[in-house]
Structure 1
């Protein structure tokens, strides 16, 4: 029986200027490392067939399935603030689109599948390490309830790629509600192709914001919709200590999903200025800068849409500024509401925000682990001896704050057990800690050992459960295990 993909492709029906038609480059000896079987079923695919040699060949780009219309998407982008008029999919090829079990259109893309016209002298390939990192982190984000691209499969190619040294090659099959970015709009804006911008905006509305089709000002509402989704997405990132690492406009999704997991990382000790990416030397994309950068990226999108707003430049700019002005309130509302849940507050009172800010400041001064502090705080709601204070270099700093917190939660109607359950539902015990991810990668790259990878993926699929048998995965790194820099896969 042949592997069947029920493709219904819409993006490749757009004008040729939107993409380049290019087939994946065949690889020598594809071998499936991991198939996300539940996701395959959700996409209407047969996981048993995908796990065959035929399936591995498709997932590695060696064979193109029937109905596919392989393309590399064109886009531009600001990279660390510097505009590049042509980027595009340099090592990714969109096989096509399917409609999943919930009626949602989803892209199926091969990442690391060979050069395209946008490769800019690159080899178009991916090394095994970045493929495993994206699989682990994207699926962890999904389990945390954060909008994200997904990972359907990881395949080794039987070939090596050359980076600083020769490394095993691999291909990731990535699933997204689309791969349309702020940079996609910028690609046409810099070319002053207003008609293409309109076609792209209409496509985005039909695909991601269908409720806007009959709006009186659909393009204004489109910008407002993207602003709202991005504001809420960044709030969710901050609430779990996630740092994207490369928030370029070409890595900013119009759908509101987290996309392009390169040098991403989760914080261990809380530090608003934390940076992991080896290429972010100035801290542009530090943890606490992410809301500001998201608004900066959205402003670039607004600039692209101005010709669709009004023929009068001043009027269009004023209208765009008014829409962008909503970002801060949407973000702040989502972020503060999330923080209140993290500390077990379910009604609003004057002084709550200051109480939470005092905790964050004490955490930063005491190098308290971000994830464990909040998780243990949930335990503290029912047990005074719970060791949230053990996360602080000076436990007295926690004790002072805890007294005020206990007085505040005493005013809430929930029982201690109800509060703990609610806090545990938003404060994960398990995140993809950097040292764990690096250990998994080293085992795979050096020893062809994927057992650690499988176990980590298993643990991270249930981040809010205690999982006593895997308790060590919740531990922060020892000093000699700390990962201080993460790297892009290019």
Structure 2
């Protein structure tokens, strides 16, 4: 059994509803993340019934969390966990970690939906979360994927059902603060802020300005890391932005392959609000919504509170740019810092537009002595001829090794993801095994994994992702 604690439920009454996971006819473990379980100090012999929330110890208290959120710019004062349950927390050497279910059935927050999850989206989250962790990007993670033995009905027809068991530093979101602020419950906002500080930023006890500063810095670093690997989140709603600075909600996400700043994968993002190039802008927008909820805590005088919060928000763009540029220096193997680095980076990005993002950086380390290794990727092979000498003049002595350590070879390429999901739904997990093997060790080239580094085939077509609800 899992030794649960009830930190959130004890500290924050009013931010959840007690609830139970739906019974399912035939729970089966499809994927169990044994290394993660070991890190959490969990027993290795957990059953499907236990993982799916159907056979819980007395220490568990399943709750559906309440939160609000701006979804594609429109505010909803009551969203909440429509298909998720927080079972409780476990104490690990790194602090408390939430264990939650996704796809466990309808809750009072479901708004007419069935609360279920299909196998494909559950396995997508498992794959992408493992890839993000291996890339060193803060992320929620999948402890297990459980087949339910049920069918769920979606637009494409009946699909096999599944439950994801998710681990997070917490599930506190910008939208959690918005939920209480929308009710005018400023004492509740204070309790929530104190709880978030104690859990994630304990050095900021009683310091709400410092708290906002730290959340802003964590999210700026996170979005910079997304941009560096070509990750497109797809639903950067305020209810999907964590206070801890972890990536959460892998619904319509995908990794950009051909570099195009306007890339959008999500089928519901018809205006491109959350396009690749817009992610840093939405970062600042979402943080402004968090700041609005904290103003009465920042200063009793509204004018001074706005002024202090504005100073923090005005610094977010620079924090993001600094983190992004430092990451680009590592990806390009540059030696130290130079005032011309931003221009150097921008010139490279202009040169590779339309080329494969991941392979352009990965092969650049081989272009020091053989520029043809890079030119083969480009629509116009001579686009970087003038750039290459400028770049070489800035290289660190051990540039090639630095670059290979910063530039992955294996990412969850969209064609391989779809191949793995289709096979798993048909009962064949071998493609999923191969893909997970590749993305869990993304920087080291290995024989037998060549197809996981290849761009999509010409017949793959335009790629669209879906939320799965």
> Into which bin does the TM-score normalised by the smaller protein fall?
over 0.9
Q: Deviations over 1:244-295 (max 9, x none)?
A: 0000000000000000111001000111111010000000000010011011
1:20 and 1:72 in contact (8 A); partners too: yes
1:378 aligns with 2:375: no
Q: How far, CA to CA, are the matches of 1:385 and 1:203 in structure 2?
A: 54
Q: How far is the alpha carbon of 1:302 from its aligned partner?
A: 0.3
Q: For residue 316 of structure 1, what is the aligned residue in structure 2?
A: 305
Q: How far is the alpha carbon of 1:349 from its aligned partner?
A: 2.1
Alignment of 1:67-216 (within 5 A): 67-100=59-92, 102-164=93-155, 165-213=157-205
1:250 aligns with 2:239: yes
TM-score by length of 2: 0.98
Q: For residue 31 of structure 2, what is the aligned residue in structure 1?
A: 34
2:53 and 2:87 in contact (8 A); partners too: no
Q: How far, CA to CA, are the matches of 1:279 and 1:325 in structure 2?
A: 30
Q: Deviations over 1:36-69 (max 9, x none)?
A: 001001111111x12xxxx111222332233111
Decide which of 401, 406, 428 is 1:426's aligned counterpart: 406
CA RMSD of aligned residues (A): 1.2
Q: How far is the alpha carbon of 1:16 from its aligned partner?
A: 3.0
1:407 aligns with 2:385: no
Corresponding residue pairs, total: 468
1:379 and 1:386 in contact (8 A); partners too: no
1:436 aligns with 2:416: yes
Decide which of 260, 264, 272 is 2:253's aligned counterpart: 264
2:12 and 2:191 in contact (8 A); partners too: no
Q: For residue 466 of structure 1, what is the aligned residue in structure 2?
A: 445
* 3-state SS, counterpart of residue 394 of structure 2: helix
Moved more, 231-240 or 395-404: 395-404
Q: How far, CA to CA, are the matches of 1:399 and 1:34 in structure 2?
A: 47
**Structure 2: runs of 5 or more not aligned:** none
1:378 and 1:424 in contact (8 A); partners too: yes
Q: How far, CA to CA, are the matches of 1:257 and 1:386 in structure 2?
A: 39
Q: How far is the alpha carbon of 1:385 from its aligned partner?
A: 5.3
1:435 and 1:482 in contact (8 A); partners too: no
Q: How far, CA to CA, are the matches of 2:95 and 2:12 in structure 1?
A: 23
1:341 aligns with 2:327: no
Q: Deviations over 1:181-209 (max 9, x none)?
A: 00000000010000100010000000000
Q: For residue 289 of structure 1, what is the aligned residue in structure 2?
A: 278
* 3-state SS, counterpart of residue 441 of structure 1: helix
Q: How far is the alpha carbon of 1:458 from its aligned partner?
A: 1.1
Decide which of 372, 382, 388 is 1:396's aligned counterpart: 382
Q: How far, CA to CA, are the matches of 1:116 and 1:125 in structure 2?
A: 10
Q: For residue 484 of structure 1, what is the aligned residue in structure 2?
A: 463
TM-score by length of 1: 0.94
Q: Deviations over 1:363-419 (max 9, x none)?
A: 11xx110000000012223x425612111011111323223222333xx4x1xxx21
Alignment of 1:322-337 (within 5 A): 322-337=311-326
* 3-state SS, counterpart of residue 403 of structure 1: helix
Q: How far, CA to CA, are the matches of 1:57 and 1:407 in structure 2?
A: 60
Q: How far is the alpha carbon of 1:103 from its aligned partner?
A: 3.3
Q: For residue 241 of structure 1, what is the aligned residue in structure 2?
A: 230
Q: How far, CA to CA, are the matches of 2:122 and 2:463 in structure 1?
A: 20
2:12 and 2:192 in contact (8 A); partners too: no
1:161 and 1:168 in contact (8 A); partners too: yes
